[in-house]
Each structure stands twice: as C-alpha cells, then as structure tokens.
Amino acid sequence: MVDKRNHIYKIFTAGNPFIFQTDASKLICEGYTVTYVAMQLAFYMGFKRIFLIGVDHNFTAVGNPNEKQFLKGDDPNHFTPGYFGNKEWHLPDLEGSELAYHMARFNFNRSGREIYDATVDGKLQIFPKITFEQALDMCKKKR
C-alpha cells in the first residue's frame, strides 16, 4: 500500500499475471472481479474465515468477456439500477473470475483458512454453500 493520507490507502492492481497476492504492499491481481481483490485484502489482514454475500455470478449481458459496452437504461445485473445504468462498462469474464476464485480457495485452504458462499440463489459453485443464518452462527463461534 502506498500514498498514505491519514486514513486512505491506495492499492495497485493488475489483470495479469494470475496470482493470489498475500502481501497487499505488492501488485494485487484483479482476477476479473473486485471480489477477488477483496479476498486478497482479507487474507493479508489475517481473516481466517470469510463469507461471500451477494455474489450472484450471473449476468444478463450478451457479448464477449471484457467487451466494452454502453448499457442503455437501468442495470439489471447489480444491486441498484444505476450501478452501470446508462454508462460504459466491460462485460464480466465469468470463466476468468472462476479461475481466480479457485486460486483464492486453494490459498485460503492451504493456510487453514476458509471461504464460504452465503449468497441466496447465487450461481457460483466454487465455495461451500451455506445460508446467511449459518454464516451468522459461525461468526458467533470461535474457530
């Protein structure tokens, strides 16, 4: 992390090479999804268990992965219609993000850490599925 300004830190990211960075002071791989960046930061901060909530891993957009498009009207793919609505954006790369998620799972498991998916009706099949209530119960218990 660099450019410290009181409480703001900047991180440097890159799409390649495919790595799982355990040191946030170095270049962090984007893995085609901000979720992968967050996983690397959580690992660096020492989290032993993380829960994914709201990772639908499902998009209605049509086109090639990473293709730049202008989304006319509301955004049906995110939690709020204005997220990318009436804006330029890049189509998701679900296969690329799945490769990144596999790397995250491997690195967490190798270090005795865990990632769970508590998303309701999500399409991601990389991490063990649990309910939101189970995630809350697990947070109450010591590891």
What token pair was written down for 143? Answer: 């590891």
**pTM score, two decimals?**
0.85
Q: Does pLDDT of 5 surpass 70? A: no
Residue 81 Cα distances to 32, 73, 74, 134, angstroms? 21, 8, 5, 29
pLDDT tens for 16-71 read 668 999 999 889 999 999 999 999 999 999 999 999 999 989 888 788 888 888 77
Q: What is the mean pLDDT of the chain?
A: 87
Helices (H), 10-131: 34-44, 94-110
Structural domain for 131, as ranges: 2-140
Q: Does pLDDT of 112 surpass 70? A: yes
The predicted pLDDT at position 12 comes to 84
| Domains of the chain: total | 1
